[in-house]
A and B are shown apart, each in its own frame.
Chain A
Amino acid sequence: MTVGRFRFMDQQRVNLDGFAVEDASLGLVAFDSPNDPVPSLVVRDGRVVEMDGRAEGDFDAVDEFIARHGLDLVVADEVMALDDTAFARMVVSPDVPRSEVVRLTAGMTPAKLARVLATLRPAELVMAMTKARARRTPSNQAHVTNRSDDPLLLAADAATAAAFGFREIETTVPVLGDAPSNAIAVSVGAAVGSPGVLVQCSVEEALELEMGMRGLVSYAETVSLYGTEQIFVDGDDTPWSKAFLTSAYASRGIKMRVTSGGGAEALMGGAEGCSMFYLEARCVALARAIGSQGVQNGGIDSAAVAGAVPRGVRSLMAENLMVMLRNLEACTGNDALMSESDVRRTSRTHPIFIAGSDFVCSGFGSIQRYDNMFGPSQWNSEDIDDWLAMQRDWGVDGGLRTAAEPDVAALRRRAAEAVRDVYAHLGLGDLDDVWLEQAVDAAGSKDVPAADLMTPLSAARIVRDAGITMLDVASALDECGYDVEAQRLLDMLRARVEGDYLQTAAIFTEDMQVLSLVTDPNDYAGPGTGYVPSPERQREIDGIRQQRSVADFRDEQDAASDTRLRVVGAAETGSDPREVVVGVSAAAGRALWVALSGLTVNEILDELLAGLEEEGAVGRIVRINDTVDLGWIGLSAARLSGSGVAIGLQAKGTALITRRDLSPLQNLELYSVAPTVTRELYRQLGVNAARHAKGSTPEPTRNPYSDEAIEARYHTKVVSLVAIERSCVDASVGPEDLELDGGAR
């Protein structure tokens, strides 16, 4: 039997996570496996004849493609001869321009780059990433999926994701045959939410390309690369088929990036004894070699494998940095959930969040965890407000913006109606009003029992059989009265003709400007340089919907005002030994009416007076006008009290018992945690004050303690309430007797 402390610790969520002992033979090692090759590069007559310890006759498919296409041999000698630490310093130092680091990295073999980046400590990774990402303006990507491939819910959720600021939306299917239906529903929903949102539907490579050719999606990402030939072939591809696929997308004007991620090979039992980071270095070098503009990595589906080994989380970030140094768009993981622990998952993401990335998450689950058909994400719909608060806390642009409920409600309705109308217009299916209403209101697919699972399947079949393209969808939207959305879909199609979004790290702004390595290059070069949110964007980041001002609190207080408490005249010193004065603060019952607990000031006074009366004391309410300090309020009241004992009460509900011979900082009893004080406790305070007045020693009342973040919850309000108290203080006004009309017991 373990001791209680360990039984308690064992129950914590972090202990649901798996932690692996390092084992290089299984590839369960983040950096520096003994089997990782020593970096080398031998070039003869302009041809690579040895790379990372392997002669060209022994090159596997991955080596071969990198050696033939991936390395800039002009700088290779220079950079391979560079000391690891010297290059690592160049990577980190703001004084070395990104362009110089990118130039040198182009000639670096996978093993060399892996060995250099393995030396960077976490804070150095943050600095390096701040400089190295391609696009100046950070952004974010959302997952929008659901268990039923419900097109109405997909549309409503895509519009919601767009409203929250996501510039890429990735959907997928639990039922492969539904894919074209999902692609259309998400594209229409995204177009309702915002212009210029890129949409992909992650499915098998060939089907994904086919949908791209039809215009049903505007980018692609599910083009997986692996670090060993064996796993590559297990994935039914080769570097050449992937290179061809990359060109196939570009030939139709479609943005694409590839996917890789440390731990994938270990997870599939084919790491060949190499470290996750070295194998990922091969993937990233290959991504550059095949001409992909970008990479989604940082573990992705195998993030938890990396997370299980020492320094694995650090290696995930270093992978992302490697992509940036290869001059590619980085879509930086924070995708599949890698821990049951909120602390660990935040810790995993946070350095990337503060450094900034082309897409901080390569799939923020903007929907319910249970609706995420990729599996739950590192960040999910329940975390959107957390993310917005974190952006605001750090003054960081994590790609999201706040959205007002009425706006989102309207967008969800329009998106669902647009899809319903388009499906009807194109003969894809009739989706009824009950279903629509449920989808508009739903937090997730469990709230949409009316969804018909056959509708997406038959819609998708008709799309494929009839050869419906996005032009047809745009036409249908227009004819159904959604001309704005039709224009937005058409704009995305025109973008394929223009081709500017084929460049590295391209996204569209809401006015359809391309932001990319070309048009919006990251120019970070130390303090005072690089991306700073525009004033407008800063307001979006700062202006979360939950923030409140003094004016808001004043309005809230004014709404509860009443006239029960009124001044009857100047307060004199009492002579009745049974008298206990209740000294109230300057704003109580004048500018403030509701305490932090939600009880009104009058209700609190009713309880205090009733408690005093119960014990035979006579209560008298006196307003102390010259201070906000509770100790002084109490002491001033005690000096007026016939018994010499008084209760002090601030409008926010903080209360104490004191006596005229005590100093202002002393008291007999104190309720310091105003939000948690109940009616019963105030009554008990009255009772105890009366007993003190009689000279007895009652058992002190106790503050109700709580493990909740009471201070986080109330301190903003306290600042406002104190400000209001202070505005009522007037040192020239003496204490006043008050009377509480009615209700007094």
Chain B
Amino acid sequence: MTQARSGRPAVDVTLEALRRGDLAPDDVRIHPETLEHQAQVAEAHANPQLAANLRRAAELTALPDDEVLSIYEALRPRRSSYDELGALADSLAERGASRNAALVREAAELYARRGLLR
């Protein structure tokens, strides 16, 4: 049974629960395991890149909205130094977001070569 990030079963996201004041934002957020499941579905339908995206997404479910927005900003052209991207990657890796960390590291290398660092 699909659960929200909060652990509430999706089927319990109901109007009655809303009326009781019982629904919090995390009750309508996707659970990382659901994203892993969807990644497997995408793989089975000939799209490993979509699967990889959904697995990066699973890692990002743990991050607060503000941080997700700030990482996006850091990856935009000429926003970050090589070291800042390295530190960002380390911090992501430490928190189990290894796929996103790898993406950031790869960006740092390419940005260095193509003049896209700050």
Q: Which A residues contact B (CB, under 8 angstroms)?
A: 60-61, 64-65, 68-70, 72, 99, 102-103, 106, 205-206, 209-210, 213, 215, 229, 233, 236-238, 240-241, 243-253, 288-293, 327-328, 469-471, 474-475, 478, 483, 486-487, 490, 493-494, 496-500, 502-504, 517-518
Q: Is the CB of B68 within 8 A of A494?
A: no
Q: How far, in whole Å, are A65 and B3 apart by their CA atoms in the complex? A: 34
Q: Is the CB of B29 within 8 A of A291?
A: no
Chain A neighbourhood of B27, CB < 8 A: 497
Q: How far, in whole Å, are A730 and B31 apart by their CA atoms in the complex? A: 78
Within 8 A of A (CB), among B1-45: 2-5, 10, 13-15, 18-19, 23-25, 27-31, 34-35, 37-38, 41-42, 45
CB-based nearest B residue for A210: B69
Q: Is the CB of A240 within 8 A of B103?
A: yes
Q: Is the CB of A238 within 8 A of B49?
A: no
Q: Is the CB of B49 within 8 A of A240?
A: no
B14 to chain A, nearest CB (A): 7
17 CB < 8 A contacts A-B: A69-B49, A70-B49, A106-B46, A206-B69, A209-B72, A237-B77, A241-B77, A250-B35, A250-B53, A327-B45, A474-B18, A493-B28, A494-B10, A494-B13, A498-B2, A502-B38, A503-B38
Chain B neighbourhood of A248, CB < 8 A: 57, 60, 68-69, 72
For residue B65, CB closer than 8 A to chain A, the reply is yes
Q: Is the CB of B53 within 8 A of A213?
A: no
Chain B neighbourhood of A251, CB < 8 A: 30, 35, 56-61, 63, 68
Chain B neighbourhood of A64, CB < 8 A: 110
Q: How far, in whole Å, are A245 and B60 apart by their CA atoms in the complex? A: 11
Q: How far, in whole Å, are A253 and B104 apart by their CA atoms in the complex? A: 22
Q: Is the CB of A206 within 8 A of B73?
A: yes
For residue B71, CB closer than 8 A to chain A, the reply is yes
Q: How far, in whole Å, are A487 and B63 apart by their CA atoms in the complex? A: 29
Q: Is the CB of B18 within 8 A of A233?
A: no
In the complex where A213-B65, A240-B110, A478-B18 touch, is A497 in contact with B31 (Cβ < 8 A)? Answer: yes
CB-based nearest A residue for B69: A206
Chain B neighbourhood of A502, CB < 8 A: 35, 38, 54
Q: How far, in whole Å, are A494 and B54 apart by their CA atoms in the complex? A: 18
Within 8 A of A (CB), among B69-118: 69, 71-73, 75-77, 100, 103-104, 106-107, 110-111, 114, 116
CB-based nearest B residue for A469: B25
Q: Is the CB of B75 within 8 A of A250?
A: no
Q: How far, in whole Å, are A244 and B106 apart by their CA atoms in the complex? A: 12
Chain A neighbourhood of B3, CB < 8 A: 497
Known: A233-B77, A503-B42. 12 other contacts (CB 8 A): A60-B114, A61-B114, A68-B106, A248-B68, A251-B59, A253-B29, A290-B49, A483-B15, A499-B2, A503-B41, A503-B50, A518-B41
Chain A neighbourhood of B71, CB < 8 A: 244
Q: How far, in whole Å, are A106 and B48 apart by their CA atoms in the complex? A: 10
Q: Which of A206, A328, A478, A498 contacts B10 (CB 8 A)?
A: A498
CB-based nearest A residue for B62: A251
Chain B neighbourhood of A289, CB < 8 A: 49
Q: How far, in whole Å, are A458 and B106 apart by their CA atoms in the complex? A: 42
Q: Which B residues contact A (CB, under 8 angstroms)?
A: 2-5, 10, 13-15, 18-19, 23-25, 27-31, 34-35, 37-38, 41-42, 45-54, 56-61, 63, 65, 68-69, 71-73, 75-77, 100, 103-104, 106-107, 110-111, 114, 116
CB-based nearest A residue for B9: A497
Q: Is the CB of B35 within 8 A of A499?
A: yes
Chain B neighbourhood of A471, CB < 8 A: 18, 23-25, 28
Chain A neighbourhood of B48, CB < 8 A: 72
Chain A neighbourhood of B4, CB < 8 A: 497
Chain B neighbourhood of A499, CB < 8 A: 2, 30, 34-35, 37-38
Chain A neighbourhood of B35, CB < 8 A: 250-251, 499, 502
Q: Is the CB of A240 within 8 A of B15?
A: no
Q: How far, in whole Å, are A496 and B28 apart by their CA atoms in the complex? A: 7
Chain B neighbourhood of A206, CB < 8 A: 69, 72-73
Q: Is the CB of A229 within 8 A of B114?
A: yes
Q: Is the CB of A252 within 8 A of B75?
A: no
Chain A neighbourhood of B103, CB < 8 A: 240, 243-244
Q: How far, in whole Å, are A21 and B3 apart by their CA atoms in the complex? A: 58
Q: Is the CB of A247 within 8 A of B41?
A: no
A465 to chain B, nearest CB (A): 15
Q: Is the CB of B53 within 8 A of A290?
A: yes
Q: Is the CB of B18 within 8 A of A475?
A: yes
CB-based nearest A residue for B76: A241
Q: How far, in whole Å, are A494 and B15 apart by their CA atoms in the complex? A: 11
CB-based nearest A residue for B70: A206
Chain A neighbourhood of B37, CB < 8 A: 499
Chain A neighbourhood of B46, CB < 8 A: 99, 102-103, 106, 327
Q: Which of A236, A496, A518 contacts B45 (CB 8 A)?
A: A518
Q: How far, in whole Å, are A408 and B76 apart by their CA atoms in the complex? A: 45
A482 to chain B, nearest CB (A): 11
Q: Is the CB of A291 within 8 A of B50?
A: yes
B45 to chain A, nearest CB (A): 6
- Which of B2, B57, B63 lies at the interface centre, i.e. has the most chain A CB atoms within 10 A of its CB? B57
Q: How far, in whole Å, are A245 and B76 apart by their CA atoms in the complex? A: 10
Q: Is the CB of A496 within 8 A of B47?
A: no
Q: Which of B47, B58, B61 contacts A327 (CB 8 A)?
A: B47
Chain B neighbourhood of A469, CB < 8 A: 25
B16 to chain A, nearest CB (A): 10
Q: How far, in whole Å, are A240 and B105 apart by their CA atoms in the complex? A: 10
Q: Is the CB of A497 within 8 A of B29?
A: yes
Q: How far, in whole Å, are A487 and B15 apart by their CA atoms in the complex? A: 6
CB-based nearest A residue for B28: A493
Chain B neighbourhood of A60, CB < 8 A: 114
Chain B neighbourhood of A517, CB < 8 A: 45
CB-based nearest A residue for B25: A469
Chain A neighbourhood of B75, CB < 8 A: 238, 240-241, 244
